Amino acid sequence: MAPGLLFGSGMTARKSILMVEDEEFIRFALEDYFSMKGYEVESAAEWEEAEALLATRRYDLVISDLRLTGFGGTEGLEIIGFLRQRWPDTRVIILTGFGSFEVEAEAKRRGVDAFLHKPMPLPELCRVAESLLEVRT
């Protein structure tokens, strides 16, 4: 059984993931990898696009880059805050190449479930995602 599949009441339900990543190559790689693992995946390239999706739909997991607008951005922190207000049970992973102790501490204060550093092998990221999603089931 694929990790993204759950069985209950005789029906199959796929776990949903929103990928928020401004770098197109990384976004497509994440989307393809998690789709092949059996997850229902949608993606957004910027905070406003992610906010529009999150305003109308709850995801089981959001994996977001920290910086979506280039140098110095921390839009990933805004995503955490938005999720904790709107969908408090959604799991959140921040994936960044620009993390610092201060930013990681702020992400944890806002309720991030995992703060990970790029580059991260996709199988390792998937293991973290699966462990977070198992906690909810």
pLDDT of residue 93: 98
Domain assignment present for 125: yes
Domain assignment present for 2: no
Strands 5-8 and 91-96: unpaired
Domain assignment present for 62: yes
Give the pTM. 0.88
Number of structural domains in the chain? 1
Domain assignment present for 7: no
What are the pLDDT tens digits along the chain (137 aa)?
Answer: 455 544 444 444 789 999 999 999 999 999 999 999 999 999 999 999 999 999 999 999 999 999 988 666 788 999 999 999 999 999 999 999 887 899 999 999 999 999 999 999 999 999 999 999 996 54
Indicate which CATH number applies to the domain containing 76.
3.40.50.2300
Per the structure, the complete domain to which residue 80 belongs is given by: 13-136
pLDDT of residue 90: 97
Domain assignment present for 6: no
CA distance 20 to 47: 8
Domain assignment present for 101: yes
pLDDT of residue 97: 87
SS (H, E, C) the chain: CCCCEEEECCEEEECEEEEECCCHHHHHHHHHHHHHCCCEEEEECCHHHHHHHHHHCCCCEEEEECCCCCCCCCHHHHHHHHHHHHCCCCEEEEEECCCCHHHHHHHHHHCCCEEEECCCCHHHHHHHHHHHHHHHC
